[in-house]
A and B are shown apart, each in its own frame.
Chain A
C-alpha cells in the first residue's frame, strides 16, 4: 500500500488534542459540521460560530486500544488533529459548551505527532477516512494506543494521514522524507485548505463541501442554520482556487492583486510564492481552462481531478435549480 506513495512529511504545524469522557461525542456532534456517527477511522470536520463562519478545521481520529488481545475503538475518546496556532482558541470555544458535561480535554502536543505519506497522482483503493491495516506493511506496534493510519479523510489524492508517538521506520518503504513546505504545496494544488487559511471564511468558500466535511442532513449544530440555507437556497459564487504563473519572470509577490480577463474583474490573489498561488475567484462567470492576467503576468488555474469533478457537479446542481 505504502509503496505507491513516495513522499513523507512530518506535519509540525499540527497537534493532537484529545477530548475524552462520556459526553465527548455528543458535544462534538453538536458543534461540528460532519456527522460523527458515520466516522470510520478518521473524519474531516469544521467548527463554526453561530454566524456560520469557520473557527477551525479539524481531522477527528478515533483511537484504538488493546482489549483482550484485540484492537478496539474507544467510544468515549476522540483525537482532534488541529493547527497549533488555532489550538487555544478552539479549546476555549469547546469549553464554552461544557455546562454539566463531563469531558476532559488533554493536549498531546509533545506525545503524539502527525505525519502524511503522499505522492504525485496517487490512487488509493480505500475510501476517505478508512483505516489502513496492511499486515505486510503495518506501521503500528503494540502499546497503549494503536498508531493511527488512515486515508486522508478529505481526499485520497493527498495520501495517508498517520498519528504516532514516534517517527515511523520507513527504510523498507523507499520513501523520500520531505519538509512541511513540500506537503503544503501538494495540499494547496488540490485546493484543500488548513489552519489560518480557513479562519473566518464561509465553509463553501474554502471548498469544504468538496472534501467530505459538511453533512447537510445530520440535524442541528452550531452554524447549521446559515450553512444549510447558503447551500440550499444560495449560490456560492466565489471559491479559493490554486493557480500557476505561466509567464517566465515570476519573482514578484502578487498578493492582493486583481485577476483580470480583458476588462472584466475575475478574482483576487490571496497568496502567492514562486510560480504558484491561491486566488479568490468568481468561478461561475468564467472559463476556468483559459489563461488570465494578473498585473503583467499570465496565470492559469490548476484543476486536479477531484477538484474538477466536484466543481462540475456543483455547477450542474446550480443549473438544475434554474
Chain B
C-alpha cells in the first residue's frame, strides 16, 4: 500500500495525484474538538493529525473506536483539511461505520479524550462511549 508522509505531502504542489479523498460532510468535528486538535498539533504532535479507527471484537458492544495521532496517509483514506492543514483522517472501512457522526472532545475529571458524540450507524453504544454495536445491515 502506498504510504506518504505528511511532511513530504505539504512540499508537493500537485497533491491531487495521490488517491485520497476529502471529507465534505460525512463526519463533523465540533469547534472544541478542532481547537483541541490544533492545540495538540502546535505542541505535542507536530506534523501529525488525528486518526479515527474502528476495531472489531473489543469493548462491551463489540466494536471500539480508537483515536490516535498519526503522520502517515494511506491511499484509501478520507482526509479533512482546515486552512490547508490536515487535521483529521479516517480510513474507508471505518468511514462505513461512522458516516454521519459528530466527534467531540471532553475535558472532565473522569477523562480528557476525543469521543464519538453521535453515531447514526450505531444501534447501541456502551456507557463509557468507547464502544458501539453497529446496525445489522452494516455487517
Residue B19 is within 8 A (CB to CB) of chain A in the complex: no
A130 and B107 alpha carbons, distance in the complex (Å)? 47
Residue A242 is within 8 A (CB to CB) of chain B in the complex: no
The answer, among B56, B123, B126, B131, for a CB contact under 8 Å with A27, is B56
Whether A221 and B56, one on each chain, are in contact in the complex, defined by CB atoms closer than 8 angstroms, is: no
A222 and B124 alpha carbons, distance in the complex (Å)? 12
* A221 neighbours in B (Cβ, 8 Å): 60
Whether A99 and B60, one on each chain, are in contact in the complex, defined by CB atoms closer than 8 angstroms, is: no
Main secondary structure of the interface of A (DSSP, over half): loop
* A220 neighbours in B (Cβ, 8 Å): 58-60, 126, 130-131
Residue A37 is within 8 A (CB to CB) of chain B in the complex: no
Whether B56 and A222, one on each chain, are in contact in the complex, defined by CB atoms closer than 8 angstroms, is: no
Given A50-B61, A222-B62, residue A97 in contact with residue B56 (CB < 8 A): yes
Interface residue count for A (Cβ, 8 Å)? 19
Residue A98 is within 8 A (CB to CB) of chain B in the complex: yes
With both beta carbons as reference points, the residue of chain B lying nearest to A103 in the complex is identified as B57
A30 and B63 alpha carbons, distance in the complex (Å)? 9
Interface residues of B (CB under 8 A from A): 54-63, 93, 123-124, 126-127, 130-131, 133, 139
Interface residues of A (CB under 8 A from B): 26-31, 50, 96-101, 220-225
Q: Could you write out 23 A-B pairs with CB less than 8 Å apart?
A: A26-B57, A27-B56, A28-B57, A30-B57, A30-B58, A30-B62, A31-B62, A50-B61, A50-B123, A50-B124, A97-B63, A98-B56, A99-B54, A99-B55, A100-B93, A101-B56, A101-B57, A220-B59, A220-B131, A221-B60, A222-B57, A222-B61, A224-B60
